[in-house]
Amino acid sequence: MGEAISETSIAGSVLVECSGLLALVVTIVGVRLLGRRDLQPLTMIIPGIYAVTAYVLLRSIFAAISGPLAGLALFGLGFLLYGLARQAARLNLIGAVAFAVLTLGLLVAMPASLYMLTIPAHSSI
């Protein structure tokens, strides 16, 4: 039989699934600290939550169809984040591209590192 599911593994899984929202918030706060002091964070966080949620749903659907299609959802999220930065934050072209790339970088790196933290040290994985 399999191992019992512990509270730690459940909490870790929830944390990994929420990492997309955390990546979005970290990047928005970074943009505000680096020069856009007049930026209201809620003007970017609310549409950003919708974009990240759509990404998670599309990634799940595309991964069920074919694994490589999940990258298409990541490309779509990058385009949505670029548009968000251009419209809501009124960033220039380079700033909007940097916002999208940094958010996607955090979105890809954070779940991988959090999954490594949730694997027990004595695991055979």
Residue 93 scores a pLDDT above 90: yes
**pLDDT value at residue 118:** 64
pLDDT tens, residue by residue, 34-82? 877 788 888 889 999 999 888 888 888 988 888 888 888 889 999 999 9
pTM of the model: 0.76
The C-alpha atoms of residue 73 and residue 69 are separated, in whole angstroms, by 7
SS3 label, residue 97: helix
Task: Indicate the residue type of 57.
Answer: L
Do 99 and 91 touch, CB atoms closer than 8 A? yes
- How far, in Å, are 13, 19, 35, 98 from residue 117 at the CA level? 11, 13, 34, 28
Report the distance separating Cα 89 and Cα 65, nearest Å: 35
